[in-house]
Chain A
Amino acid sequence: MTAMTRHRRFAAALCGLSAGVATGAFAAPPPTPAAVGRALFMQKNCYFCHGVMGQGALPTGSTLAPKPLPAAAIRAYVRNPRGVMPAYSPEILTDGEIDSIHAYLDSIPAGRPASEIPLLGGSAPAKTTGR
């Protein structure tokens, strides 16, 4: 098995195989920009530091979604980051690919706020906790 095949399997597994990424179904419609962006987000390992949904993680990477920065701002930052994030050159990540990733991030809906999640102290009706 090649490294790339191995990687695709890994990324697909982490996506939960639910992203609608084209996997070779010829009759399927062309993937949406968001789907292409999600595949790139996984393939380029953006999720390593930022999480699969771009939610960010305190020790590794900032929150990217929902409501990402404008595509131009993300492009500029990826090329010349100020923090510990490494820079990604155009040979590795083209402007078009960054725009696709932005489309994915922009497609991520805002989830429930903490105030509506009982396990975070929210007041929404609690589902059974199984206790």
Chain B
Amino acid sequence: MKTKQQGPDRRRFLKGSVLGAAGTLAPAPVLAAESAPAPTAPATPVARPPWLMAAEARPGEAVAPPQFVDYPGSDFMVDVLKALDIEYLALVPGSTFRGLQESVASYAGNQKPEMIVCMHEEISAGICHGYFKVAGKPMACLVHSNVGLQHASMAIYNAWCDRVPIIVLAGNVLDTTKRRPGVEWYHSAQDLGALVRDFTKWDDTPVSLAHFAESAARAHSYALTAPMEPVLLVADAELQENAVEDRTLRLPRPMAVTSPVGEPAAVAKAAELLLAAKNPVIALDRSARSAAGVALLVRLAETVNAPVVDLLGRMNFPTGHYLNQTWLQQPLITRADLVLGLEIGDPWGLVNMVSDVIGRPSRRLIREDCKVVHVSAEYLLMKSNNQDFERYFAADLAIAGEVEATLPQLIAAVEQRLTLDLRSAIAARKPALEAAFKRMRDAAKTDAAKAWDASPITTARIYQEIWDKIRNENWALVSPTNLSSRWPHRLWEINEFHQYIGGDGGAGVGYCASASVGAALAHKSAGRIVVNVQGDGDLMMSPGVFWTQAHHSIPMLTVMHNNRAWHQEAMHLQRMASRRRRHPENSVIGTTITDPFIDFAAMARSMGVWAEGPIADPAKLGPALARALAVVKSGKPALLDVIAQPR
């Protein structure tokens, strides 16, 4: 939604600076107060209340002219955001950034950044999370001090765990003498960044506009340098609202920092180990960050004919490729003599396991003589409180480097060492790998056929009904698949980077509902059919997403995986009950979403989203999907509530 630009033409005012990226600002035009139209007297005398008369100047005193701010600091902040190429700003309105919001609305004309209006700050931050994973560049969320930031914190944490950069701008009133009494004190902080410092890469509280500009550029640069992470920048309300006094302000020039590349000798050693192995396995997780990364991963795997196990933190490897043997993970890992992990979130967990039984025993999965090489930018990431770094694991060769940046060097090192004998041995692996791949895919179809006509509808049936409708379209799946048996990765042809955005990062419930909207926003310009298979528990963390979808006409198809439970927790309680020889019937207490059932279709419709359901008959799902997709193709969001099996 764009607004008409009002007031003096600030675009012209800053034009020279923006183009020069580091130019000095020209003097701001001055709007003389006396040039404003003189107020006209009301036709009918109106009684003046005593408080107003008391506030008026006494006889003989000069009347102060009305005060206006012609060039507020928040206009400059908007220009900083423009300089950093921030397209969207997700927000729930809040008084500590009223100046900045008004600048976006009027000064920027609600264009670049355009406001994406949300119903909860967790949605705002979650939208940023999903947006980056499609757009490949960050958007920002603007949150109210204290309360808004704390609402946003869960989604910021998910992005942190997912190594996704988002730019969080937070309003605040730092100067205690300027705060309005009461609420503004509740909504101000001495050190606002402290609220999220454990899961942001960097934060700052600028005390001048020049400081704001520099720190915005620094935050942007830090966020986008591997390992990528969220950052926070506080926009002080006084800086936003007061006039720009410093006429030498400069707009920041964004700085793109190259990705860290593995040390050449270590990369060469990795290549030697890879070629020396008889049963190498390549493990992927948050490995690719672009289509080029997928192509590099395919090239590496094909060069050595190594089966790939994809932990699906990103879209890394085509599901239709014969080397994608993800569903043979356990036999492959246990047989391997070399595991090459590329940006694995939990390398210990890849080659070890903990059984969720009494005592939680752990055991090593890989052979004693198996070597593990791990390339990861996470070796460069240090934080201590939140334990997202997972269990310590000493790889035989640990290479600090960003995978996509290191892959060309690794591939070259492998290719340089390929002898004729090696080429022959590597080629000889192919028939067995192709056969194993076919067996794996056939097994998935066999599994999917089970209970095909059951009600509640199986998750396999849901995904295949969707696939039937989108497979010949320009499509993208924007929801994780881990809670629905990974059917798309077992059955669909997911071959393009944009067709999947990976997982939730921190497993904070509520990710999918919000991040899917951000991803859909980023897909919108490409005209893709965006599909979100949405858990019911996750959606209820942030049901206001429907309003944002409708308000901004973000086309996406949401298909409810409505198992009427927080099913993971239901299984946990079942485990506890049986372990204690207590009745498993009690496991539904506090874990199911029943009595009453939630009418998700009605909920979506109430916020302007086309919806149908609940659908429990599998035969009715296909036609309903066709109707819903017609809505999506018209540029609108749609929802189908499907009553589904647990997993």
Chain A residues at the B interface, C-beta cutoff of 8 Å:
1, 3-4, 6-7, 9-10, 13-14, 16, 18, 43-45, 47-49, 51-60, 63, 84, 86-89, 91-92, 111-114, 117, 119-121, 128-131
> Chain B residues in contact with chain A, CB under 8 A?
327, 355-357, 442, 445-456, 458-459, 461, 464-465, 467-469, 482, 485-486, 490-491, 564, 567, 570-571, 574-575, 577-579, 581-589, 592, 594-595, 597, 616, 622-627, 645-647
Q: Is the CB of B592 within 8 A of A119?
A: no
Q: How far is the CB of B445 from chain A (nearest CB, A)?
A: 4
Which among A54, A57, A87, A131 is the interface contact of B647 at CB below 8 angstroms?
Answer: A57
- Beyond known contacts A3-B589, A63-B447: 18 more, CB 8 A cutoff: A6-B588, A6-B594, A13-B597, A44-B584, A55-B447, A55-B458, A55-B645, A56-B447, A57-B459, A57-B485, A57-B645, A58-B327, A58-B490, A59-B647, A86-B578, A120-B449, A130-B625, A130-B626
A126 to B133, CA, bound (A): 37
> Is the CB–CB distance between A51 and B647 below 8 Å?
yes
Whether B595 lies near A48 (C-beta < 8 A) is: no
- Chain B residue numbers with a CB within 8 Å of A47 are 645-646
Select one of A14, A89, A111 contacting B450, CB under 8 A: A111
Within the complex, the shortest CB–CB distance from B323 to chain A, in Å, comes to 20
Our pick among B327, B574, B594, B595 for the contact of A86 (Cβ within 8 Å) is: B574
Interchain CB contact under 8 A, B645 and A51: yes
Assuming A84-B357, A111-B450, is B585 touching A44 (CB within 8 A)?
yes
Cβ-defined contact, B454 with A52, below 8 A? yes
Q: Closest A-chain residue to B587, C-beta based?
A: A45
Contacts of A4 in B (CB 8 A): 585
Pairs across A and B, CB under 8 Å, 17 listed? A3-B586, A10-B594, A14-B564, A18-B455, A44-B585, A48-B574, A51-B451, A52-B454, A53-B454, A55-B458, A58-B447, A59-B482, A92-B577, A120-B449, A130-B469, A130-B622, A130-B624
A114 to B646, CA, bound (A): 21
Q: Are B469 and A112 in contact (CB under 8 A)?
A: no
A59, B583: Cα distance in complex, Å? 24
Q: Which single residue of chain A is at the shortest CB-CB distance from B463?
A: A119
With contacts A7-B588, A120-B445 taken as known, whether A52 is within 8 angstroms of B465 at the C-beta atoms is no
Tell me the complex Cα distance, A10–B597, Å.
9
Q: How far, in whole Å, are A7 and B486 apart by their CA atoms in the complex?
A: 28
Assembled-state Cα–Cα distance A119/B447 (Å): 13
Chain A residues, CB < 8 A from B577: 92
Q: Which residues of A contact B581 (CB under 8 A)?
A: 89, 91-92
In the bound complex, what is the Cα–Cα distance between A59 and B567 (angstroms)?
A: 12
Which of B449, B482, B485, B589 is packed against the most chain A CB atoms within 10 Å? Answer: B449
Q: Which 3 A-B pairs have the closest CB atoms?
A: A130-B626, A55-B450, A53-B451
Instruction: Choose among A7, A43, A47 the residue with the greatest number of B CB atoms under 10 Å from its CB.
Output: A7
State whether A45 touches B584 (Cβ < 8 A).
yes
Residues on the B chain within 8 Å of A130, using CB: 469, 622-627
Residue of B nearest to A11 (CB): B588
User: Bound complex: CA of A101 vs CA of B455, how far in Å?
Assistant: 19
Cα of A18 to Cα of B617 in the assembled complex, Å: 12
Query: For A53, what are the chain B residues with a Cβ–Cβ distance below 8 Å?
Result: 450-451, 454
Known A-B contacts A3-B586, A88-B578, A114-B446; the reply to A55 vs B595 at CB < 8 A is no
A52 to chain B, nearest CB (A): 6
Supposing A48-B574, A111-B451, A129-B468 touch, asked if A6 and B589 sit within 8 A by C-beta, the answer is yes
Q: Do the beta carbons of B468 and A7 come within 8 Å of each other?
A: no
- Report if A52-B645 is in contact (Cβ < 8 Å); known contacts: A45-B585, A88-B578, A131-B468: yes
Q: CB within 8 A of A48: which of B446, B459, B570, B627?
A: B570
The complex places the Cα of A39 from the Cα of B455 at a distance, in Å, of 15
Q: Give Cα A60–Cα B595 distance, bound, in whole angstroms.
A: 26
Q: Are B564 and A119 in contact (CB under 8 A)?
A: no
Contact pick for A58, options B469, B486, B564, CB 8 Å: B486
Min Cβ gap B102→A in Å is 47
Which residues of the other chain, A, contact B486 by a CB distance below 8 angstroms?
58-59
Nearest-Cβ distance from residue A71 to partner chain B, whole angstroms: 20
- Could you tell me if A112 and B583 are in contact, using CB atoms closer than 8 angstroms? no
In angstroms, Cα B568 to Cα A49, docked, is 10
Shortest distance between the CB of A97 and any CB in chain B (Å) = 12
